[in-house]
Amino acid sequence: MAVTTDVIPDHSIAVLDHGFVRLDAAMADDLSVVNGARVSFARRREQLDEADEGLIRFLMRDRHGTPFEHNAFRFHIRCPIFVAREWFRHRIGSFNEFSMRYAKATEDFYIPEPEDVRSQVGKPGSYSFEPVDPELAEHTREELQAVYDSAYATYTRLVEQGVARELARSVLPVGAYTEFYWTVNARALMNFVSLRAAAETRPGLIPQKTASRPGARTSGTSDSGCFGPSVDLLFEEGAQHLAGDGGLGAGAARLDHPDDSDGVVAPPAVAPGVALGLAQRS
């Protein structure tokens, strides 16, 4: 159960065993990027054209990042506390989180799937995860459940006895679920995804089973939060590009437009890429 609703919200991406990620609202479109760039030349567009799409590709290719900051995405996220703490450590965007000082904690805790119980091999900062025997995996899950049951029973007992929630919560482990809203611009979001979706990133924050682009049209989001094909590149290619993996192709082609004297140089059209996003529970 989500702490803010009786059920998991519609149009959410299910994450882990009790979590979700959903795009709650957005203020973003192609023109916000284009006009953020063209103001340098005292220009403004009212409608997007082919040259503007080329400009966006040029900005992506040459890493002119500030035009991608004139927008906002608000995500609603539910995840284990230990995941949230990693998330907040990126120190980008604005956060507001569920508080166990003011509301009672829910009885939801993270239990990994058997295949997600792993051993750590190597030195701190340079290690890998290896699978464990099925018997150990199941034993680990049982041990976690026992600790969670005991901790939540203690928490409930303390609250019922009149202990302040802000003190009683201290018995709860970091496997407890929390919930927060995160508002971030496209540039910061691309950076976040490029780091968390990198091949060398340890599993945990963004499990890489299947992915769904956060910019997809979402019911309940205003029209201003739906994106055209150019802004879609932010999520299909942007994170990979900002991470230094290329993805926009080599060489450039000049896009001539009758009322565009900026002489924008843009790379060729981008081939379809793998959609990046926050992982879906299979």
Written as tens digits, the pLDDT of the chain (282 aa) is: 556 666 777 888 888 999 999 999 998 888 889 988 888 888 888 888 888 888 999 898 888 889 999 999 999 999 999 999 999 999 899 999 999 999 999 999 999 999 999 998 988 878 888 999 999 999 999 999 999 999 999 999 999 999 999 999 999 999 999 999 999 999 999 888 888 876 555 555 554 433 344 433 323 333 333 334 434 444 444 444 434 433 322 222 222 233 333 333 332 222 222 222 333 343
CA dist 105 and 177 (Å) reads 8
Residue 162's pLDDT is 97
Cα–Cα distances in angstroms (integers) from residue 221 to residues 214, 215, 226, 227, 259, in the given order: 12, 11, 8, 11, 34
Candidate CATH numbers 3.40.50.720, 3.30.1180.20, 3.30.1360.170, 2.60.40.1080; the one for domain 13-110+175-266? 3.30.1360.170
Residue 259's pLDDT is 36
- Which residues are 177's β-sheet partners? 80
Q: Considering Cα of 59, then 60, then 63, then 68, what sign does the dihedral take?
A: positive
How far from chain centre, in Å, is Cα 54?
A: 27
For residues 112 and 102, is the Cβ–Cβ distance under 8 A? no
Q: Where in the sequence numbering do the catalytic residues fall?
A: 196
* 0.75 exceeded by pTM: no
